Every structure is written in structure tokens, then in C-alpha cells.
Amino acid sequence: MEGLRNDGRRWNELRRIHCQLSTSGSSADGSAYVEQGFTKVLCTVTGPAEPGSRQRGRSDGATVVCEVYFAAFSGTDRIKRGRNDKKVQELQTAVQKTFASVILTHLLARSEIAISLHVLSQDGGTLAACINATTLALIDAGIPMADYVCACTAGQPAIGLGGGSGGGDDDEPDPYLDVNYLEESDIPSLTVATVGGGEKVAVVSMESRVRIERLEAMLAVGISGCARVREIMDKEVRRYGKEKLDGTGE
Amino acid sequence: MPKEPETSLAEKTFVLEALKQNLRVDGRELHAFRDVQLIFGDDYGFVDVRLGKTRVLARISAEVTKPRSDRPFEGLFTISTELGPMASPAFEVGRPSELDHTISRILERSIRRSHALDAESLCIVTAQRVWSIRADVHFLSHDGSLLDASCIAVITALAHFRLPVVTVSGEDITIHDVEERVPVPLSILHWPICVTFSFFGDDENGETMYLLDATAQEEALRAGDMTITVNKNGEICQIAKSGGVAVEAEILMRCARLAAEKVKVIDKMIGDALREDELRRNKGNLDWLKEGRAENDR
């Protein structure tokens, strides 16, 4: 098993990404379903619509609100996460703030865009999958955005994989791309999201201790992962668009 | 719901134009901190941090409780923060704002989850009695960088706090009075310090401008922000950048390195202030400090 991670990937391999647009039919303005390995997220977007309460409406742009639901069966233990759970709130603010700055809100004054995310299964990189699913759902809803927001995770193992682990030397092991749950709980990891698959970083979130010298490598691997995620998402959006235009879909 | 008064258009243009010429309204360098003032109270574990007009107060208290059943060896540590109308009329009691959530979340990530306080050193009798340390943060005045100031406040207060000595003989636990036995400092493994960067539009080279230690006015006008928590050993404990303007990865790295530099200065400043206070309290006799430690041998 020289050079392979615990699930058989090499250090720079993504897990299988499956994405789908318009999964909820007519019940929402836009919806998407994303699977990154065994992490599964369903996103629905409603809006732009009239704000639920008067206070929320802003005369200079749209307001973005986000709600995240964790299915009780999504993790290894059956845990019900309520609305006031810290993890839930953290995720909500992260998604809400990210998209508030990417959606061209000034075009949609006095309206509200509601994002609702259902995490069906967690296997590492929940925030990344949530961001990717939201991007696709917003595209499906036809909401104007600056570009795709693509997210990915990267982890820093203490010991290298050895064998064919690529360019890194022995004392500086290669960072892992797209960590799964086991790796996430074991090694320091960060989530990074870029706008448009380039070098422009919208989100960085890291909760574990890591040497400052290792940050650069982790960021670089994460960003290259984001570019690949963008390609995959773009392909699906184009395929879906073509299918719609050809009239071969619903 | 009270709202922060919006910055007028004239003010906004003035601040942003000045920034383009590398000038800040209070005359600081772009990457300079305001002077940090640390004022210690009469009791141990009471610190008043002033960062310009921002004023944050931290108070540490300890009590003996039962540990959590899944972690019988570990003491408890909680940080409580609440923004009230004393800091700014825009804050309400009992209705936490988004800033409130951000501060408590990042403090939690920076100090608690990075294991700055050695939880196992707070154990008295396994699965029966442990110390529960509580840090209460009060915000007295808000002029930006509340998070940076409160992180400094909590870390300084923890380092300043003294825990009463406990002796265990068989079933009996005796907590010695401060008069009876000299209380011991907590076992703090490292000092994480938060540095918040505020991002503004591009400068003439097309690079995103970033400021350190923003005032309330600059915070209201910024296009994005990022908080990095570093300790003096050059370890990053936490990074949080959610949304806001998208920034080149190169700039992020520059921010991280700058943060590490600034933290070394702040770390030294806190150390000096603590030593000075200790000298003042002990009239120059520091010998007992070397002996007393909260780590118990297990």
C-alpha cells in the first residue's frame, strides 16, 4: 500500500464528485445535490422573493439568508443538531457571508434569497460540499453571481506516504487533498473556497494547529483542488443546460 | 432593533481615498497596532485591556465541580462573552448580534480548541473533582478590533490568574486559603493571539489593501476580514475568513507572516506587563514563583 491513503487515493486525488441540478423540481426556485465521496448535501434556493419581515429588506441590495439542517443519521452517531447548535450556526454564517459577497446583490434590491442546506451524510469536508451545492443551486435558480464559488479541503499529515508520493521530500510530507472523515479527525486540515477557480480566495477556515511554513503548501493544494472542482461543476452545468435546450429533459 | 449609525458618504470617500494614499485617519501606519495598555486589578486574573478607545475587561474565576463523565481527567474551561449596550448603543442585551457569535466562536477556536490551557492540570480527583475555570469577557467600549482585544484580555488574565492550592489526603480535599498557602499559576501551554486583517479595495498596483487593528469606522467600511490566531512559536491555531472580498492566496500568506511577526511583539509585551505587575505585588521577591506550579504529578 505504498503511497496510498487509507481510502486508496494518492495525496493529490479528489474523491468522486457527483453533482446534479434541479433536484427538487418546482418546490424551489433552484436546487442541487452534491456528493463528495460519502459527504452528501442537498441545497434548495428560494428567491429572489419578498423578504419575510420588513426589517430584512435593504434598499441597496438583496439579503441572503441561510439555514443548515443536519440529518440526525448523517454522522457516525445519531445526533440531533438543533437550530442553536454552534456547529450549525458556524456553517450558516460561513455560507451566508460567502454568498452575500459573490451574488450580485445590487441587482436585486429589496429582495431576499433564502438558501437551505440539508446535510444528508457527513464524511469530511461538510463546509466545502455545502458551498459547492449552494453555488449549483444558485445557478439553477438563475441568480446573478460573479463566478462559481468552489470549495475543497486540504490536510497536512505528519508522516509522508512514502513510495510514489510525488515531489515532496521526506521531512516535508505532501498535503492531502480533499480529506475524508478519518483524515479530518486525525490531521490538521483547512477548507478553502475560491471564486472562479483562480487564485482568489473567498473562504479559508482552519481549526487545528499547524506550523506557519506548512500553510502555503496546504493552501496551494486546496486551491488546485478548487480549480478541479470548478471544472467538474461547470461540466455538469453545461450538460444540464444543453439537455434543457434540446428538450430531452423533463 | 438599534442599528449602528451609517457612515456618511463624505466620511466614506475620505477614509477610502486616504487609504489609497497609504494614510489612516488616526495617522497610523497601515500595518500598525494601536498601543496596547494592560491594567491589572487588585485581584489575580483581572485584566483591563485598552486598545485605543476599545476597552475590554476579562475576569477569571475558578470553582470546584464534577468533571464530564466522558473526560474524567480534564477540568472545565469556559469563555463567556456578551456584547451589551455599554460598548456601543448598537448592541442589545439578550439578543446576540452576528459580531457576538463571531467573537465567541473565534475565541473558542483560538483558545479552547488549541488547548492553550492544559485541561488535565485542573484535575483534583479523577472523575470526582476538577477545577472549572471561567473567563468572563466584558466589553466596555467599542472602537474596532474587539476580537483582538478580547483575545489578549483572556490570555493575559489566564496567565495572571492564581489557583488556590489543593491537597488531597485519602477522601478529603482541602482547598487552602490564599493567606495560608501561596496560590499557583495555571498551566498554560502556549499563548494564542488573534490578529484581524481588514481588507479594502485594490491599491494602485492592483493588490488588495489590508489593515491591522481597524477602528470601528474602518470596520464599517471594510470589504472583508480575516482573523488569524498565531502563537509566538509560529504555529497557526486558527484561520477564519468567511466571505467578504476574495483575496489572492499570495496576500493571505503575507498576512499570515505579518501576523506571526506582530504576535511576537504582543507576546513579549504581555510577558513584560505580567512580570512588572508581579514585581509590584511582591516587592521584588520572585523566588516563590519558580516553585509553585499547577501541574500535578500523575
In this complex, how many residue pairs, one in chain A and one in chain B, have their CB atoms less than 8 Å apart?
A: 92
Dihedral angle, C-alpha B147, B88, B26, B36, nearest 10 °: -40
In angstroms, the CA B215 to CA A16 distance is: 45
Residue the block writes with cell 442585551? B93
In angstroms, the CA B157 to CA B119 distance is: 16
Q: How far is A218 from chain B, CA to nearest CA, in Å?
A: 11
Q: Which of A58, A145, A206 to mutate to test the interface with B (most CBs of B within 10 A)?
A: A206
* Predicted local confidence at residue B290, as pLDDT: 56
In angstroms, the CA B260 to CA B195 distance is: 9
How does residue A79 score in pLDDT terms, banded at 50, 70 and 90?
A: confident
Beta carbons of B108 and B115 less than 8 angstroms apart: no
Q: In the structure grid, which three cell numbers stand for residue B189, read together?
A: 501551554
Q: What is the DSSP letter of A56?
A: G
What is the Rg, in whole angstroms, of the alpha carbon atoms belonging to chain A?
A: 19
Burial of residue B85 (number of CB atoms within 10 Å: 0-12, 13-18, 19+): exposed
Q: What is the DSSP letter of A198?
A: S
CA B105 → CA A85, A93, B199, B215, B283, distances in Å? Answer: 12, 11, 21, 21, 40
In angstroms, the CA A246 to CA A121 distance is: 34
Beta carbons of A82 and A88 less than 8 angstroms apart: yes
Are A204 and B105 within 8 A, CB to CB? no
Q: What is the pLDDT of residues B260-270, one digit of tens each?
A: 999 999 999 99
Are B236 and A209 within 8 A, CB to CB? yes
Q: How far is B209 from chain A, CA to nearest CA, in Å?
A: 14
Q: What is the pLDDT of residues A212-238, one digit of tens each?
A: 888 999 999 999 999 999 999 999 999
Q: Does A211 contact B at CB distance below 8 Å?
A: yes
Q: What is the pLDDT of residues A128-150, one digit of tens each?
A: 999 999 999 999 999 999 999 99
Q: Does A194 contact B at CB distance below 8 Å?
A: yes
Does A201 score more than 50 pLDDT? yes
Q: Does B95 contact A at CB distance below 8 Å?
A: no
In angstroms, the CA A27 to CA B91 distance is: 38
* Predicted local confidence at residue B259, as pLDDT: 93
Closest chain A residue to B235 measured between Cα atoms? A211
At residue B180, what is the residue type? E
In angstroms, the CA B252 to CA B200 distance is: 14
Helix-then-strand count for chain A, H and E: 4, 10
* Predicted local confidence at residue A55, as pLDDT: 65
* Dihedral sign, Cα of residue B115, residue B117, residue B118, residue B119: negative
Per-window interface: B 224-263 vs A, CB < 8 A: 224, 226, 230, 234-250, 252-253, 256-257, 260
Does A69 score more than 50 pLDDT? yes
Residue the block writes with cell 470601528? B216
Angle A27-A32-A35 (CA atoms, 0-180°, nearest 5)?
A: 140
Give the number of residues written for chain B. 298
Other CB atoms within 10 Å distance of the CB of residue A128 = 28
Of A99, A102, A206, the CB nearest to B239: A206
Q: Does B12 contact A at CB distance below 8 Å?
A: no
Beta carbons of A244 and A139 less than 8 angstroms apart: no
Residues on chain A touching B105 (C-beta within 8 angstroms):
86, 89-90
Better-scored residue on pLDDT, A169 or A60: A60
Domains in chain A, please, with CATH? 17-245 (3.30.230.70)
Beta carbons of A175 and A212 less than 8 angstroms apart: no
H helix or E strand, kind and range, residue A138: helix A126-141
Are A200 and B248 within 8 A, CB to CB? yes
Closest chain A residue to B190 measured between Cα atoms? A209
Are A94 and B242 within 8 A, CB to CB? yes
Q: Chunk chain B into consecutive blocks of 10 residues (it has 298) and report each block's average pLDDT, rounded to whole numbers.
A: 78 90 88 90 91 93 91 90 86 81 89 89 89 93 92 94 89 85 90 93 80 90 91 91 87 92 93 89 62 54
* Predicted local confidence at residue B284, as pLDDT: 57
Q: What is the pLDDT of residues A101-132, one digit of tens each?
A: 899 988 988 899 999 999 999 998 999 999 99
* Predicted local confidence at residue B21, as pLDDT: 87
Q: At what angle do helices A126-141 and A86-102 cross, to 10 degrees?
A: 40
Better-scored residue on pLDDT, B298 or A180: A180
Q: How far is A71 from chain B, CA to nearest CA, in Å?
A: 23
Pick the range with the lowest mean pLDDT from A27-36, A46-55, B45-54, B256-265: A46-55
Domains in chain B, please, with CATH? 9-297 (3.30.230.70)
Q: DSSP characters for B147-174? A: HHHHHHHHHHHHHH-EEPPEEEETTEEE
Residues on chain A touching B110 (C-beta within 8 angstroms):
none
- What is this structure's pTM? 0.88
* Predicted local confidence at residue A168, as pLDDT: 47
At residue A68, what is the residue type? V
Q: Does B98 contact A at CB distance below 8 Å?
A: yes
How does residue A165 score in pLDDT terms, banded at 50, 70 and 90?
A: very low
In angstroms, the CA A67 to CA A54 distance is: 19
